[in-house]
Amino acid sequence: MNKIRHVLGISGGKDSAALAIYLKNTYPTLEIEYYFADTGKELDETYEFINNLEVYLGQKILQLRAVKDSPVDPFDHFLARYGGYLPSKQARWCTRHLKLEPFEAFVGNDPTVSYVAIRGDEDREGYVSHKPNIQTIYPFRKNIWSEEVIDKVLNNDNLESLVEIYCQLANGKKRNMLLEVAKYPVSFDFDQDQKLRALLDLNVSLFNQVVFEFLKTTPYPLGAVADFPLLDNQDVLGREDVFRLLEESGVGKPKYYTELPLAINGQKGTYFRSRSGCYFCFFQQKIEWIWLYEQHLDLFEKAQEYEKSGYTWNEGERLEDLVKPERMQRIKEEYLTKTTRACNMKKSNKLLDILLDESELEGCVACFV
Write the pLDDT tens digit of every residue in 115-172: 999 999 998 776 667 889 999 999 999 999 999 999 999 999 999 999 999 999 999 8
What's the pLDDT score for residue 368?
A: 47
Write the pLDDT tens digit of every residue in 196-221: 999 999 999 999 999 999 999 999 99
Domains of the chain: 5-145+237-249 (3.40.50.620), 150-232 (no CATH), 255-368 (no CATH)
- In angstroms, the Cα distances linking 311 to 179, 287, 295, 316 are 58, 20, 24, 10
CA distance 30 to 228: 9
pTM of the complete model beyond 0.85: yes
CA distance 86 to 102: 20
> In 10 A of CB 3, how many CB atoms?
9
Residues of the chain with pLDDT under 70: 1-2, 126-128, 346-369
